[in-house]
Structure 1
């Protein structure tokens, strides 16, 4: 076998490779005076360092036989790719996180929207006629809201059994409630005379609003209603309501239980019974209205102190138990604007009425002048009624003489009423019978305008009746004449049921709103 001798070029190439692959200290080369066709380093700075014997990086020989430049470019490119991949991965993770958070936020917003929409669907009344009947709420000043409740207490019509006209003024932190009985006489859109309780069946919610506006002379901006079963569930859902019961309620027609006077935590069934009860020692309709107002105040106190989240969660359970023109947001905004109103400062008054019977139907008829004066005070933000104690303290009970006559045919009524007045310090000089027993209600008649305060003080003490100025149709020798009507039987019955519960209180020491006393004026009496 013949072995070829390496050529001179191969020797030189091998020599160069050996030198390049050798580590250590090198003696600086003497630059060749002849120009070289190839540069070892493209960077002059690296070339100078190499000539001084400084070697900072030695690139290994590779199987690809690539040059130093190509190898450096390839390594630099690989690092860039790895960095780019890592950077891209980080960007993807960040983008995924942002998208996940956004998706959760969108899902939360969607869930909240569905939650609120569900409450609104159960709570809000969608009725174009009602919307048309309601007035726009003013941006400033007083707002009137109508609370309508049907307690299924046996009256004709589908409700309301009671209507509460509520005036609120957030700017003045004041509120007042005018109680309108469900059996008040009014004329509805069919042109016929009805009880207010018939309005729902005649024309729906819009008819109720319009009827109350006609009675009161104010424009209603919001409407809220409930019925007996919903009312019970509402009170129970709130854990009961705290009410200071002014007089023992013991009315068999309202239910099978009784509620003692004093502070009480009422559950739903008890609260319904309390609102239905109408068998009181005096001023039965007014006392029932006052009780309804107390319940409304207690509910107001429970709702107005809630934060937004608490309110929304409570309304999830309570929506459908109360219906309103307001949606959830509007209801919370209205209640929030009333937070500065202390429940104990809410002024309450009952519509002044007397009982009248038409075609066999018993109505409560508004006493026009007193009701008009009461609504005027309400619109001015004043107290709706004069306190009983203020009335009594304004007169000297022994300074004028009184005649008491039985005008309703109730046995012993005149004697009972006279004893009540004497015990209160009044000067009763005559007791007897009226010429006719035709008086449905008790009248307190005065013939001098200056005696009006005295007559009102008597009405307040009796707990029923109505003060009447008449200098022509009645003849009597004393300063004031009291004609005891058939309504006194209600007082005797209520007093008996109160005594049976062990409550020692009587009609002379109860605190009532007496600026609007119930009276029964027979259509046959002058």
Structure 2
């Protein structure tokens, strides 16, 4: 049988039918400018392609699988894929969680190692000290001793100054009393010493015991620093703000000088201020007031810290200060005092007079005034009586005064008498004492009713102490002033105040 080849018309008809049966529009192929080898080999095929003719159609295929079976099979496959994906996600989540837990554990461990290292450097591991410190009461005031040496390292030397601090978080109050390092105290060997010598005799425990015996209070905490630590501590908090009532210049304390007025001091400048005492009419008193002002400024810095800043800051502070407290206890104490305004911290300086024993010079506590100061301190009142209020409470013209020179400072009696008369007091007599052996100025009264008058004279002179003595001194006026050798400091301070002072030259 001979098969007849379809004609060109039949090809075109078939092509039109196929185009109608397909979606969209069948577009004839745009011939390439460069014919392929297949097109070059068959010119007829090339013409058919250009005409859009179709000569071969793929057959329609089918499967014996029903639509339901197909749907079930695809559903099972999708379920398996979802299960595998879910399992993979769970494994990833578990791995991430385990990594997070491991990181958290490592962080906590690192934090405890960090805090442990800080505590090791911060805490004083001294059983003797722990034995003399009282447990801090759950309620009521807590007493803390802060000791500072203005020399580098302990070296067997004790503090140059001690601050006895009273904090009462319930009533949001704090107060501090400055005790000079050369205050005369009795130590465990039964002998009289400077307070600063306590360290060499019995360590930190001896310092605390001496302060307790002197003040009559039980101390719960103790902290100390030296010159290097003090400078680093002040610098680490960005300096301290002070407001000086007069210029400070003392060649024995350092080569720098500080002007009067408000200023921010670096660590070195703050150390110089605390060391200096040869610049005021009452050098030891003014030095104590300056020390308490620096302590107030540091207190303000610390209570303003949040927990993280305090804890991380203690890494540096632990190299500056040593204490019985760990970081947690120190922060708890500071955070309990947040409601206390630094400017409201009440301060006082131990009232003393100069005494001599052989070649040693001490600052002897004025017993009556010191007792009264401690009573106010323990009661949460202002320890230091205000000078102006003392003077204002007395009618200066209502009593008579005798002024004698007892310290061999030329013109001291006349100078003191002039100062008193300028303040409204009545001076009946000016002369010399029987002996020029008085180290400090005495204001003597013979009747208890004249105590306030004597204190007003002390406040006006800016030096000396009031003494009740009706036996050893004979005078006809109400008050006797014996001007001692300490008047030279008054004259020197007056001269320095009148002279211009260079500022902040280090």
Q: Give the TM-score of the pair, scaled to structure 2.
A: 0.83
Cα deviation digits, residues 409-449 of structure 1 (max 9, x gap): 11111011111111112111211111121211111111222
Q: Partner residue of 1:449? A: 448
Matched, 1:496 2:495: yes
Q: Partner residue of 2:235? A: 236
Q: Partner residue of 1:3? A: none
Matched, 1:204 2:215: no
Q: What does 1:208-219 align with in structure 2 at a 5 Å threshold?
A: 208-219=207-218
Q: CA deviation at 1:158?
A: 0.9
Matched, 1:131 2:130: yes
CA contact (8 A) 2:443 2:454 kept: yes
Q: Partner residue of 2:304? A: 305
**Partner-residue secondary structure (3-state), 2:144:** strand
**For residues 251 and 305 of structure 1, do their structure 2 counterparts lie closer, same or farther at Cα, with a shift above 3 Å needed?**
same
Q: CA deviation at 1:117?
A: 1.8
Within 2, Cα distance between the matches of 1:271 and 1:58?
A: 92
Q: What does 1:217-232 align with in structure 2 at a 5 Å threshold?
A: 217-232=216-231
Q: Partner residue of 2:268? A: 269
Matched, 1:57 2:75: no
Within 2, Cα distance between the matches of 1:330 and 1:496?
A: 49
Within 1, Cα distance between the matches of 2:153 and 2:303?
A: 32
| CA root-mean-square deviation | 2.4
Q: Partner residue of 1:434? A: 433
**Partner-residue secondary structure (3-state), 1:477:** coil
Q: Partner residue of 1:469? A: 468
Within 1, Cα distance between the matches of 2:268 and 2:500?
A: 19
Q: Partner residue of 2:54? A: none
**Partner-residue secondary structure (3-state), 2:384:** coil
**Partner-residue secondary structure (3-state), 1:481:** strand
CA contact (8 A) 1:157 1:197 kept: no
CA contact (8 A) 1:157 1:199 kept: no
Q: CA deviation at 1:237?
A: 1.6
Cα deviation digits, residues 137-157 of structure 1 (max 9, x gap): 111110001100001299996
**Partner-residue secondary structure (3-state), 2:249:** coil
**For residues 142 and 342 of structure 1, do their structure 2 counterparts lie closer, same or farther at Cα, with a shift above 3 Å needed?**
same
Matched, 1:320 2:331: no
Q: Partner residue of 2:184? A: 185
**For residues 192 and 88 of structure 1, do their structure 2 counterparts lie closer, same or farther at Cα, with a shift above 3 Å needed?**
same
Within 2, Cα distance between the matches of 1:319 and 1:258?
A: 30
Matched, 1:360 2:379: no
Within 2, Cα distance between the matches of 1:156 and 1:79?
A: 82
Within 1, Cα distance between the matches of 2:446 and 2:154?
A: 38
Within 2, Cα distance between the matches of 1:318 and 1:155?
A: 17
Q: Partner residue of 2:107? A: 108
Within 2, Cα distance between the matches of 1:446 and 1:365?
A: 20
**For residues 149 and 434 of structure 1, do their structure 2 counterparts lie closer, same or farther at Cα, with a shift above 3 Å needed?**
same
Q: CA deviation at 1:494?
A: 2.5
Q: What does 1:340-379 align with in structure 2 at a 5 Å threshold?
A: 340-379=339-378
CA contact (8 A) 1:407 1:434 kept: yes
**Partner-residue secondary structure (3-state), 1:298:** helix
Q: What does 1:393-408 align with in structure 2 at a 5 Å threshold?
A: 393-408=392-407
Within 1, Cα distance between the matches of 2:113 and 2:347?
A: 39
CA contact (8 A) 1:235 1:268 kept: yes
Q: Partner residue of 1:296? A: 295
Within 1, Cα distance between the matches of 2:301 and 2:217?
A: 27
Q: CA deviation at 1:191?
A: 2.7
Q: CA deviation at 1:165?
A: 0.1
Q: CA deviation at 1:247?
A: 2.4
Q: What does 1:166-181 align with in structure 2 at a 5 Å threshold?
A: 166-181=165-180
**For residues 138 and 431 of structure 1, do their structure 2 counterparts lie closer, same or farther at Cα, with a shift above 3 Å needed?**
same
Within 2, Cα distance between the matches of 1:337 and 1:155?
A: 31
Within 2, Cα distance between the matches of 1:417 and 1:149?
A: 35
Cα deviation digits, residues 148-173 of structure 1 (max 9, x gap): 00012999961200000000000011
Q: CA deviation at 1:315?
A: 2.0
Q: CA deviation at 1:104?
A: 1.5
CA contact (8 A) 1:407 1:485 kept: yes
**For residues 190 and 470 of structure 1, do their structure 2 counterparts lie closer, same or farther at Cα, with a shift above 3 Å needed?**
closer
Q: CA deviation at 1:314?
A: 2.1
CA contact (8 A) 1:21 1:58 kept: no
CA contact (8 A) 1:187 1:193 kept: yes
Q: What number of residue pairs does the alignment pair up?
A: 441
Q: Is there any run of 5+ residues in structure 1 with no aligned partner, and where?
A: 1-19, 24-54, 61-71, 504-526
**Partner-residue secondary structure (3-state), 2:68:** coil
